């Protein structure tokens, strides 16, 4: 029977050492690649605008995630407020930019995890966790002591510091990063992160080293591994071919990929002519083709040989 890896970290005492090391990163914050050096333990908030305590927008079962996460009873999502990327087209901009949410403590965050598990959720899915890693780790022992035993999902934007990911080895069984850009120019323009492709590639290698390819059990539920999202942008602004080449050649041809077509111009995207529209059907089909051409075959919701199809688990 599957047991999440964080239970062994807790039993060995290693989890408490990780908590201390992660909290040290907040003294002059180097938690993410921004390395803004904010003194978050003293009340400074830095680039992400979050201090020492967790800030949560909402939590509940989510049925709109990838099928291996949703299963029968939903993915237990906890939407964390603010973000270390700040993409100008973010569809959740009220959370990531405008700060929709409230500050909580570790006891309340642990209670959220346990509530979602009691509702039958197959996992606890932290949405935008990068800038709140120490806060999540601090809440985890309390959740474990309350009986938590479902996998944790690290649902992030892909802009991660490898040093921070090292602290998460054995904590998260499922990594679900976005791979937003294959080229530095759009990354600089839309997310103020010119180094995004380089940083993301290093982060993906570390994630895959820790958890490997996505493992789906006999009931169709994800238990462990890497699941990559890629949002198709108009005018190939996401650099899909380079993204898929990297995943196939430098991660694994068995990487589970969701090529997403739901982009729409939100927040400040109207100010940027190249992305001030939805992708066309042909742009999406070309992105799927680029994925298959690279040798990737585990596509969420897509049957090889077609651009759109009913969901199957490959």
64: tokens are 């709109």
In a domain? residue 79: no
Number of domains in the chain: 1
- Look at residue 292 in the predicted model and tell me its pLDDT: 98
Residue 13 has pLDDT above 80, yes or no: yes
Percent of the chain residues topping a pLDDT of 90: 94
Q: In degrees rounded to 5, what are phi and psi of residue 286?
A: -65, -35
- Look at residue 301 in the predicted model and tell me its pLDDT: 77
What does the pLDDT look like over 123-134, one tens digit per residue? 999 999 999 999
CA distance 15 to 239: 38
What does the pLDDT look like over 133-182, one tens digit per residue? 999 999 999 999 999 999 999 999 999 999 999 999 999 999 999 999 99
In a domain? residue 265: yes
CA distance 267 to 87: 9
Q: In degrees rounded to 5, what are phi and psi of residue 154?
A: -100, 95
In a domain? residue 64: no
R_g (Cα) of the chain, nearest Å: 19
Q: How confident is the model at residue 303 (pLDDT cuts 50, 70, 90)?
A: low
Contact (Cβ atoms closer than 8 angstroms) between residue 186 and residue 237: yes
In a domain? residue 31: yes
What range defines the domain where residue 47 resides? 6-54+84-89+152-299
In a domain? residue 118: no
Q: How confident is the model at residue 302 (pLDDT cuts 50, 70, 90)?
A: low
Contacts of 110 (CB under 8 A, 6+ apart): 139, 140, 142, 143, 146, 148
Q: Give the residue-averaged pLDDT of 56-82.
A: 97
CATH number of the domain where residue 25 is located: 3.20.20
75-80 vs 124-127, strand pairing mode: parallel
CA distance 82 to 87: 11
In a domain? residue 143: no
> What SS3 class is residue 133?
helix
In a domain? residue 183: yes
What does the pLDDT look like over 186-208, one tens digit per residue? 999 999 999 999 999 999 999 99
In a domain? residue 23: yes
Name the DSSP class of 279. P
């Amino acid at each position: 029977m599957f047991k999440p890896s964080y239970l062994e970290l807790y039993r060995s005492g290693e989890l408490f050492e990780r908590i201390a090391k992660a909290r040290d990163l907040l003294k002059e914050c180097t938690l993410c690649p921004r390395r803004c050096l904010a003194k978050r333990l003293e009340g400074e908030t830095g680039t992400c605008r979050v201090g020492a305590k967790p800030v949560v927008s909402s939590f509940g079962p989510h049925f709109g995630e990838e099928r291996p996460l949703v299963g029968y009873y939903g993915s237990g999502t906890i939407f964390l407020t603010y973000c270390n990327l700040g993409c100008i087209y973010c569809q959740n901009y009220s959370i990531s930019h405008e700060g929709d949410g409230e500050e909580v403590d570790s006891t309340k965050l642990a209670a959220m995890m346990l509530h979602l598990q009691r509702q039958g959720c197959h996992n606890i899915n932290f949405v935008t966790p990068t800038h709140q890693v120490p806060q999540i780790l601090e809440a985890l022992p309390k959740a474990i002591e309350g009986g938590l035993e479902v996998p944790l999902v690290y649902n992030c934007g892909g802009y991660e510091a490898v040093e921070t990911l090292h602290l998460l080895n054995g904590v998260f069984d499922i990594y679900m990063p976005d791979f937003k850009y294959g080229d530095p120019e759009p990354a600089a323009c839309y997310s103020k992160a010119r180094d995004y492709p380089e940083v993301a590639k290093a982060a993906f290698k570390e994630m895959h080293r820790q958890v490997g390819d996505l493992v789906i059990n006999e009931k169709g539920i994800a238990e462990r591994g890497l699941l990559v999202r890629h949002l198709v942008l108009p005018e190939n602004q996401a650099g899909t071919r380079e993204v898929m080449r990297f995943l196939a050649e430098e991660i694994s041809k068995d990487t589970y990929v969701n090529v997403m077509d739901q982009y729409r111009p939100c927040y400040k995207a109207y100010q940027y002519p190249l992305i001030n529209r939805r992708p066309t059907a042909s742009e999406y089909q070309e992105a799927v083709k680029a994925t298959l051409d690279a040798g990737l075959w585990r596509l969420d919701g897509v049957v090889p040989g077609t651009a759109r199809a009913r969901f199957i688990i490959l």
